[in-house]
Amino acid sequence: MTSITPENMFSLFTFAATVSLLFNSCYGFYPKLLNASFAASESDWSPAGATWYGSPTGAGSDGGACGYGSSVEQAPFSAMISAGGPSLFKSGKGCGACYEVKCTANSACSGNPVTVVITDECPGCVSESVHFDLSGTAFGAMANSGRAEQLRNAGVLQIQYRKVECNYPGTTIAFHVDSGSNPNYFATLVEYENGDGDLSSVDLKQALDSDYWQPMQQSWGAVWKLDAGSRLQAPFSIRLTSLESGKTIVAAGVIPAGWEPGKTYRSVVNFNA
């Protein structure tokens, strides 16, 4: 039987302390978890197909199925837009959503992301689960400098995409009153929403002293309507709820008394503002 000497006791104590230190250090530090976190930030990109339409340096069609009209050519959209296949267009509920897209599958691709807004529908874009039919301008923006035409000549690309928040600095939400609106029927195009960019619901409140919100129906694209069946009392406040985050804002009194069909009225609010 081996006797325990003071020297042996010191060695055992040193060994135990070393094991404890190593255990606690490993317990508090997870290199694999750090790598997983980094991988997660990289893996938020998903595959999609991409084509382009319209003129090579244009904005696709004139506004398309969302109803934005000539706004697609002007700031802040600035022709950086896309028609979306069914999974992006979402029967119009996807209008206004912002995405980053990038390509690496062609030698002309820069690999750098560009941001586009869904402003149109591509009902035949079903060869992939997600498909962007980009404006010629947006498609070319994915190319290396001086190689936009070469990239457009590729025709069809496999790209990567991810949804991002819309950000229109200094721009408030605009309400363009539909030309068919009348004292008993009100419809408006809603555009330039920060954040989600797309909307799940829109409500209208008549007169500033009313507490009753009436739900509007999606008419088509980004146009929402209220068929009251009786004379509407302006001014109107409009409440917007974003599609994914569920955030709500109110544009109080944004549609004034004496409003006119065809006119655009600017709010003083925006999401994330």
Cα–Cα distances in angstroms (integers) from residue 84 to residues 49, 104, 133, in the given order: 11, 21, 6
- Mean pLDDT for all residues in the chain: 85
What kind of fold does domain 46-164 have according to CATH? Barwin-like endoglucanases (2.40.40)
Q: Is the pLDDT of residue 44 over 60?
A: yes
User: pLDDT by residue (tens digit) across 235-256?
Assistant: 999 999 999 899 999 999 999 9
Residue 72 is predicted with a pLDDT of: 93
Minimal CA–CA distance to 269: which of 180, 162, 175, 141? 175
Which of 33-42, 115-124, 125-134 is predicted least confidently? 33-42
Percent of the chain with pLDDT over 90: 72
* Predicted pLDDT at 138: 96
Where does CATH 2.40.40.10 sit in the chain?
46-164
pLDDT at 246: 93
Distance CA 72, CA 95 (A): 12
Of residues 218 and 60, more confidence is placed in 218
Give the pLDDT confidence of 52-67 residue by residue, as tens digits.
998 888 888 766 899 9
Q: Which fold has domain 174-266?
A: Immunoglobulin-like (2.60.40)
Res 228 pLDDT > 50 = yes
Tokens of 72: 């697609």
Please give the pLDDT value at position 272. Answer: 83
250 class by beta-carbon count within 10 Å (0-12 exposed, 13-18 middle, 19+ buried): middle
> Which pLDDT does position 48 carry in this prediction?
96
Helical segments of the chain, H only: 6-28, 31-42, 86-89, 136-141, 148-153
At 209, the pLDDT band (50, 70, 90 cuts) reads confident
What pLDDT, on the 0 to 100 scale, is given for residue 81?
96
pLDDT at 29: 28
Average pLDDT over every residue of 162-166 = 96
Of 191, 166, 164, whose CA–CA distance to 99 is shortest?
Answer: 164
Instruction: Classify strands 81-84 and 131-135 as parallel, antiparallel or unpaired.
Output: antiparallel
What is the C-alpha end-to-end distance of the chain, expressed in Å?
A: 79
pLDDT of residue 229: 85
| Predicted confidence band of residue 13 (pLDDT cuts 50, 70, 90) | very low
Domain with CATH 2.60.40.760 in the chain: 174-266
Confidence band, pLDDT 50/70/90 cuts, at residue 12:
very low
Ramachandran class of 173: left when φ > 0, alpha when ψ lies in -120 to 50, beta otherwise: beta
Q: What are the pLDDT digits (tens) for 172-202?
A: 999 999 999 999 999 999 999 999 999 999 9
217/227 Cα distance (integer angstroms): 9
Can you give the pLDDT at residue 4?
Answer: 44
Which value, to the nearest 10 degrees, does the dihedral of the CA atoms of residues 34, 40, 41, 43 take?
A: 140
